[in-house]
Amino acid sequence: MISSLIGSVIMSAVTVAMLMAVDVTDKALLKVGKYPLTIQERQILIDAGFNLIDIENLNQEIKLLKFNE
């Protein structure tokens, strides 16, 4: 009887841990690819002939990307 109760508690704890892991993973995947350009990436774009307005527009487009649809 006691072992059944302990088993139920362990199963509940494992289920909660699994759901938390799935939630953390889901939140991380929502942010994939939405980081602003780094200094090095900005410099590459400037060297390629883009101006600062173009780079800022690109950063705005990155923020608007939706990967889950």
Domains identified in the chain, total number: 2
Q: What is the rounded distance in angstroms from the CA atom of residue 36 to the CA atom of residue 46?
A: 15
Helix boundaries (H) for the chain:
2-30, 39-47, 52-64
Indicate whether 46 and 23 sit together in one domain: no
> What pLDDT does 11 receive?
96
Indicate if 24 and 37 belong to the same structural domain.
Answer: no
Question: Does residue 57 share a domain with residue 40?
Answer: yes
pTM, to two decimals: 0.48
* Structure confidence by residue, pLDDT tens digits, 43-64: 999 999 999 999 999 989 888 8
Do 42 and 26 have their domain in common? no
Q: Which domain holds residue 4?
A: 1-30
- Could you tell me if 9 and 23 lie in one domain? yes
- The residues, ordered by sequence, that sit 6+ positions from 35 with a Cβ below 8 Å of its Cβ are 62
- Whether residue 41 sits in one domain with residue 67: yes
